[in-house]
């Protein structure tokens, strides 16, 4: 078990980040505020309005009828709230978008680090998803995922386990 970042079965310490809420309100939100006694899906993605990130966001948007009763969905990237506003408006997104410009929370989830892309190693956001229970315990994690088809895998796992 690596003590440097969160793993499955760890309890996530509450944190605060700038947030674009589902009603377009901008404020700083804590994880506990957002979870509202529901399970939470935290998904980390590299950049607003890029192909893979847009596809993943649209898949979450299109699946919100499935998630909304028991889950809160939060997308986290290093993009600014202004960028999130454009992303949300352009794609009619219906979940929370959080801004982790300093990548502090990403690093705690091991969602920022070395990536290999086109044969080159560089630092960047590692597309990852975590499901937290009502007590903020990580019950499932996916690291270094492909955007296409990922939301369907999450739903499949939830149907079998929650």
Active site residue 53: yes
Phi, psi of 135 (to 5 degrees): -95, 10
pTM value?
Answer: 0.95
Strand boundaries in 93-160, DSSP class E:
96-99, 112-117, 120-125, 128-132, 138-143
**Which residue in 19, 29, 53, 74 is the catalytic one?**
53
Which residues lie closer than 8 Å to 42 by C-beta, 6 or more apart?
A: 74, 76, 109, 129, 130, 132
Residue 122 is encoded by which pair of tokens? 């560089």
Architecture per CATH, domain 16-161, reads as: 3-Layer(aba) Sandwich (3.40)
- Can you give the pLDDT of all 162 residues of the chain as single tens digits? 456 899 999 999 999 999 999 999 999 999 999 998 899 999 999 999 999 999 999 999 999 999 999 999 999 999 999 999 999 999 999 999 999 999 999 999 999 999 887 888 999 999 999 999 999 999 999 999 999 999 999 999 999 999
Domains of the chain, by residue range, sit at 16-161
CA 48, 80, 119, 127 torsion-angle sign: negative
């Amino acid at each position: 078990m690596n003590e440097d970042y969160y793993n499955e079965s760890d309890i996530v310490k509450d944190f605060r980040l700038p947030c674009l809420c589902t009603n377009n309100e901008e404020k700083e939100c804590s994880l506990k505020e957002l979870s509202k006694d529901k399970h939470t899906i935290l998904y980390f993605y590299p950049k607003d309005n890029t192909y893979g990130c847009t596809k993943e966001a649209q898949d979450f948007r299109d699946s919100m009828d499935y998630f909304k009763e028991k889950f809160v969905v939060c997308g986290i990237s290093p993009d600014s709230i202004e960028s999130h506003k454009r992303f949300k408006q352009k794609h009619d997104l219906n979940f929370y978008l959080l801004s982790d410009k300093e990548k502090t929370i990403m690093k705690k989830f091991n969602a920022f680090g070395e990536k290999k892309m086109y044969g080159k190693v560089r630092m960047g956001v590692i597309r990852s998803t975590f499901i937290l229970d009502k007590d903020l315990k990580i019950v499932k994690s996916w690291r270094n995922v492909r955007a296409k088809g990922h939301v369907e895998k999450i739903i499949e796992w939830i149907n079998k386990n929650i």
